[in-house]
Structure 1
Amino acid sequence: MSQYIVLTRVSPDALQTPEGLLDLEKQVKDRVSKECPDVRWKNNLAVMGPYDYLDIFEAPDNDTAMRVSAIIRSVGNASTELWPATDWSNFRDQVLK
C-alpha cells in the first residue's frame, strides 16, 4: 500500500467546545472505516503552525486517499492538503539506482 500525509486545518466554526473535538474525531474515524475499509492509519499528530493536524495513513491508491481527504473536509468543515509519501530508505534507493 502507498503512504500518504494529510495536513488539516479545522475551521474555527467547526469546534464550539473542546468536547466537539472528540465528536469530530469519531465522525471522521467512523466514515473512513465505513467508506474506505482498506485504509490503515499510521499516526495522528497535532501540530503548531498553519495546520492543526498531520495524519499519516496507508491507502491502496490515490483515489482512496483523495476520498479520505474529502471525508475529513466534509465532516470537519476543514481544509486539507494531501501528499503522497515514501520512506526515506525507498527514496534513497531510487536515487542511487
Structure 2
Amino acid sequence: MGTYIMMTKLSPEAVAKPQSLTELNDQVEARIKKECPEVKWIANYAVLGACDYLDIFEAPDADAATKVALIVRSFGHATTETWIATKWDRFENLVANLKT
C-alpha cells in the first residue's frame, strides 16, 4: 500500500454556509468508503493556508488514489492535489542503494 497526501481547496460556494461542511464531509466519506473499500484513511486535518484540508490515506496503487480524488472533486465543491509520500526509512534505503 502506498501512502498518499491529498490537499483540498474548497470553492467559495462550499463555505458560504459553514454548517453544511460537516454534512458535505459525511457524504464524501460515505461515498469513498462505498466505492474504495481498499483505501485506509489515516488522518484528516483542517489547515490554514492555500488549502482547506489535508488528508492522509493508504491506497493499493495510484489508480485507487486517483479515484479518491475524483470522488472528492465530483461533489463540485473542491479542487485537489494528491502526492505520494515515502516513509523516511524507505527513502533512506532508496538513497543508500543508488548507484553512483
Gaps of 5+ in 2: none
Length, aligned pairs only: 97
**Which letter maps to 1:85?**
A
TM-score, normalising length from structure 1? 0.94
The two structures, once aligned, show a CA RMSD in angstroms of 1.1
In 1, Cα distance between equivalents of 2:85 and 2:25: 23
**Which letter maps to 1:37?**
P
Is the partner of 1:37 in helix, strand or coil? coil
In 1, Cα distance between equivalents of 2:19 and 2:3: 30
2:56 maps to what in 1?
56
2:2 maps to what in 1?
2
Residue by residue over 1:34-57, the C-alpha shift from the partner in whole angstroms, topping out at 9 and shown as x without a partner, is 100000000111111110011000
CA contact (8 A) 1:7 1:51 kept: yes
Structure number with larger C-alpha Rg: 2
| 1:69-80 aligned within 5 A | 69-75=69-75, 77-80=77-80
Percent of aligned positions that are identical? 51
Q: Which has the higher helix share?
A: 1
In 1, Cα distance between equivalents of 2:48 and 2:25: 18
1:20 maps to what in 2?
20
1:87 maps to what in 2?
87
TM-score, normalising length from structure 2? 0.91
Gaps of 5+ in 1: none
